[in-house]
Amino acid sequence: MLQKASLVAFFILALTASSSAEGLYTKNSGVLQVDGSSYNKLVAKSNQVSPEYEKAAKGLKDLAQVVAVNCDDEANKAFCGSMGVQGFPTLKIVKPSKKPGKPIVEDYQGPRTSSGIVDAVKSSIPNNVKKVTDKGLSAFLESNNDTAKAILFSNKGTTSALTKVLATEYLGSMKFAQIRDKETKAVEMFGVSEYPTLIVLPGGTEEPAKFEGAYKKKDMKDFISQYASSDSKASPEKQKPMGKKPQKASEEEAAESKEAASSFSAASSSHASAEAAEAAAGATSVTLEDESNPTESPDPIASPDAPKPVLVHNMPDPIPALVEEKYLQEKCLGPKTSTCILALLPNVGDDEVLPESASSALASLAELADKHVKRESKLFPFYSIPSRNTASATIRDALKLGEEKDFELVAVNARRGWWRRYPGEKFDFHSVENWVDNIRFGEGSKEVLPEALLRKEEEEPAAPEHGEL
């Protein structure tokens, strides 16, 4: 069976002081507590994908594992120093690179909410899934015909996080592709009649195999592993010689480790009194339901000799995202909910970026929300609604808005039964602020909110099933 190495190591680390690490996470929380030594083993051997935070761990089930490191432990200080930790808590997203054992480490700068962390992790998962059309089908099938291929037939335009994870875990042993239901030639060739459908082409003259199980990671892996190549190994010229490391290299690594531990200890001690005062606050868990008040990490206190991390001091937190319909109903479309500003994001592909209108509006809303937080003035909430939220299409249809490719900004008040659409094409800060102020002060006309949007939907199961395949 296939055993993948560092290519699939993907983490979001919570680097904390002792008061908010050891004892905070229970065995059933989904958060894995590790030390520096365990981390190295995970990077080298794990065939899982790994992120961070208790409730986020549930939302990332089958996609990632939560990892927490106690930076106040003497044994972990060198490791935390090597990660550039200057304050608590610090979140790091660690994702695969082409160099075995050398992952890419990024600072997580988003809101401290479950949905924010989950979205950041999902968007960071490498996409090794090739989108194949009828036009390119023959070329895909003929390419490396002796190598196994997995094809997911889907009625979705985007590639799910679970598919990306599987493609990454089997990178080098099986090629992954996704084909839309509208590609009639491919659909007819493989006799596909329902979606999703997973088919594996073992390679050579062997017949295609159709997956008949539940579309969950374990079941899919059990099926795929039967056909994955087991000889996916590094080429001889890239393999490192077995045996002891050169003495010089070992001495250099030891010196670097000692220096990192020393630098971190200085910064860590500077935080001691502040951390003691905030110990109780450090035990607060993040929930999927409470996304309206993201918090920030404390300002780092660096030692004089410590390397300076890259910081963006004046960038406000992004507005929260409501990725599921039930949360949108709960926050903004329930019978007792008040005014909400909804930024309906366009449907863009994995290789595309948001249009200028959406990016500008999100930045303006984030800045405006931050302005009112600093003033301690009350303001209704702002939310971004990704296109994968099923309610997004419902809102567009009910309010007769533009197509899914267009960005829309609307205000809704379910309790009073009205809505307003942003009138302009420019989304600079002052234009957005003027529009929001008009709503605050009751100026301007309002439309009647269709009753169809106020229907209460059935609660979805709490456990994620990653049914976006």
Contact between residue 369 and residue 410 where contact means Cβ atoms under 8 Å apart: no
Is 129-224 CATH 3.40.30.10? Answer: yes
Quick check: 447 pLDDT over 90? Answer: yes
Tell me the per-residue pLDDT of 349-396, one tens digit each, with 9 for 90 and over. Answer: 755 678 889 989 999 999 999 999 988 888 999 999 998 898 999 999
If you average pLDDT over residues 309-327, what whole number do you get?
71
If you average pLDDT over residues 128-134, what whole number do you get?
93
Domain extent listing, the chain:
6-126+251-282, 129-224, 325-454
More confident residue, 275 or 445: 445
Quick check: 278 pLDDT over 50? Answer: no
Judge if 129-224 and 325-454 fold alike in CATH terms.
Answer: yes
pTM: 0.46
pLDDT at 98: 67
Please give the CATH architecture assigned to the domain spanning 6-126+251-282: 3-Layer(aba) Sandwich (3.40)
pLDDT at 58: 81
pLDDT at 240: 39
pLDDT at 255: 57
Confidence of residue 261 (pLDDT cuts 50, 70, 90): low
Tell me the per-residue pLDDT of 157-184, one tens digit each, with 9 for 90 and over. Answer: 889 989 999 998 888 889 999 999 999 9
pLDDT at 46: 30
The CATH class that applies to domain 325-454 reads alpha beta
